[in-house]
Structure 1
Amino acid sequence: MTDDTVLYDLNNGVATIRLNRPDRLNAVTFDMLDLIRASLLRAVNEGARAVLLTGEGRAFCSGADLAGRMDRGPVDPAESLEFHYNPLAETLSKLPIPVVTAINGPVAGAGVGIALGGDIVVMAKSAYLLLAFSNIGLVPDCGATWLVAKSAGRAKALEMALLGEKMFADDAKDAGLVARVVEDDSLMAEAGKLAATLAAKPTIALGLIRAQIKAALNNTLSETLSVEAAHQRVAGKTEDFREGVMAFLGKRAPEFKGK
């Protein structure tokens, strides 16, 4: 496994991360999962203000590389989740900067958890989602259970997970799993535009919004109100808040610095 299985580029505040095993439909290995996680952390450490996550070639991610897994001999699935899949899902969830996912093609298995872990998910019209786990005697992982159930509801989550059938882009949008569906040849332009827009916004506030929405999915109203107050206290002390107010009063466009 070499570092070129995950490509990384930082430009104008947007870190673009590309899964890069097109010959294997970007099937992930343990090393690759660790490298995706490391790339997300690198983006934060290098001052990125948004992430654009996508796949090279004709697929986003076909899930775990089962052939590669068998080559290593018997592997405890729970152990692989604990040390590779779950750390990636947690990092993606807790990242302090927004993530745009561009689903450029089929996404299956653990790839569904990675893809839907983005904040704004843009999907090519020809792409599809596939919770393929029941077809090989496993259960959804990499956060897919939570992400699908919270977004689409119990009935749709059970249908997808139990039957293991493809869900195409328009149906995924109707189910609330993705934000936008675009023509295949417009995908990267649309996703790139969204990432650039997010990178120009007040970064600290966006990170707090990410955490706040996640908390709201499980909290009561009273708990959510407390979270909002705590986050507003933090946001209200930022330079970007002061810039936003001054720009509003001066009737000009704000110039946020992410501070």
Structure 2
Amino acid sequence: MAEREDSFVAVERVGSAVRLVLDRPGRGNALVPELLRDLRGAIERASTLHPPALILTGRGRAFSAGGDVSAFADAAGDPARLQAFSSEIVGELNGAILDLLAFPAPVIALVNGPVTGGSAGLVFASDIVLMSESAFLQPWYSEVGFCPDGGWTALLPERIGAARAMAVQVFNTRYSPADCLSLGLAHALAAPEDLEALLQTTVAQITQKDAGTLAMARSLIWSPERRERVASALERERQGFLQLVGRAETARRMKAFLGKGST
């Protein structure tokens, strides 16, 4: 599977499974349109290989820091540019989420580190979430002034209930690995040094199952009708994002966020 030398997504093999690695470690694997386009292309190519499972993880200490706030801030002085950039990045993220939901094999999120903002959608769209004990999940939208995207309203309420999904936005709650396990957002936890071994065991278990059964089950669970409902909800997130991102209050909050950092 050939890939560009400058690709933001590395493609690796784990036995017969395919692993996609978000590869922008100097920026915490923060999402930009180029990375998301690389991810979508890698997902499409992986589907042609008919792997027993698709694995998604991040390079370095973070899974992904979500949308690159500095890139939004750089565009904030030009309203047309900011709207175009925001529409592109949220649109590509929505496309990547839907690509994962349509993938014809189980999808594993190997959460090696923090997951913030819209990158959580890549985890929400996965079937099996293996999480490092050094990781966490946190939205940050109410601090920065963005509309929740990445499925925080389109996918999460179905997983944990509407009240919890709203509360996490109100309080910018940081979900620990134990929280994610208890809420059903993670399936297994491991110390950072043991995460790869947990992945190997999980992939071995999947490859022992009937691939046709798993593919059929996934296509029935994520039926075209269900994916269309998710697509409509994701589009509402995109429209909400465009509505809020150009406000003076959002510009002020972005500046404050970048001045103090996110952790």
* TM-score normalized with structure 2 length: 0.75
Q: Which amino acid aligns with 2:142?
A: S
Structure 2 matches for 1:179-194, cutoff 5 A?
179-194=187-202
Between 1:183-192 and 1:33-42, the stretch displaced more is 183-192
Q: Which amino acid aligns with 1:38?
A: G
Percentage of identical aligned residues: 28
Give the 4+ runs in structure 1 shifted more than 3 A.
1-4, 69-73
CA distance in 2, matches of 1:66, 1:145: 20
CA distance in 2, matches of 1:149, 1:214: 16
Task: Give the number of equivalent residue pairs.
Answer: 218
Cα distance, 1:176–1:31 mapped onto 2, change above 3 Å: same
Task: Assess if the C-alpha contact under 8 Å between 2:72 and 2:86 holds in 1.
Answer: no
Task: Assess if the C-alpha contact under 8 Å between 2:90 and 2:149 holds in 1.
Answer: no
SS of aligned partner of 1:95: coil
Quote how far apart the aligned CAs of 1:175 are.
Answer: 1.2
Counterpart in the other structure of 2:215: 207
Quote how far apart the aligned CAs of 1:79 are.
Answer: 2.1
Cα offsets for 1:40-71 (capped at 9, x unmatched): 11111123221111111111000011223444
SS of aligned partner of 1:60: coil
Determine whether 1:131 maps to 2:134: no
Counterpart in the other structure of 2:82: 75
Structure 2 matches for 1:107-256, cutoff 5 A?
107-215=115-223
CA distance in 1, matches of 2:24, 2:90: 23
Quote how far apart the aligned CAs of 1:198 are.
Answer: 2.0
Task: Assess if the C-alpha contact under 8 Å between 1:28 and 1:63 holds in 2.
Answer: yes
CA distance in 2, matches of 1:6, 1:170: 29
Cα distance, 1:200–1:61 mapped onto 2, change above 3 Å: same
Task: Report the RMSD for the aligned CA atoms in angstroms.
Answer: 2.3
CA distance in 2, matches of 1:144, 1:206: 26
* TM-score normalized with structure 1 length: 0.77
Q: Which amino acid aligns with 1:163?
A: F
Quote how far apart the aligned CAs of 1:89 are.
Answer: 0.9
SS of aligned partner of 2:214: helix
Quote how far apart the aligned CAs of 1:143 are.
Answer: 2.0
Quote how far apart the aligned CAs of 1:195 are.
Answer: 2.4
SS of aligned partner of 2:11: strand
Greater RCO, CA 8 A, separation 6+: 2
Query: Which is higher, the Rg of structure 1 or of structure 2?
Result: 1
Counterpart in the other structure of 1:5: 8
Q: Which amino acid aligns with 1:22?
A: P
Structure 2 matches for 1:44-123, cutoff 5 A?
44-71=47-74, 74-76=81-83, 79-80=87-88, 83-123=91-131
Quote how far apart the aligned CAs of 1:151 are.
Answer: 1.2
Quote how far apart the aligned CAs of 1:35 are.
Answer: 0.8
SS of aligned partner of 2:82: coil
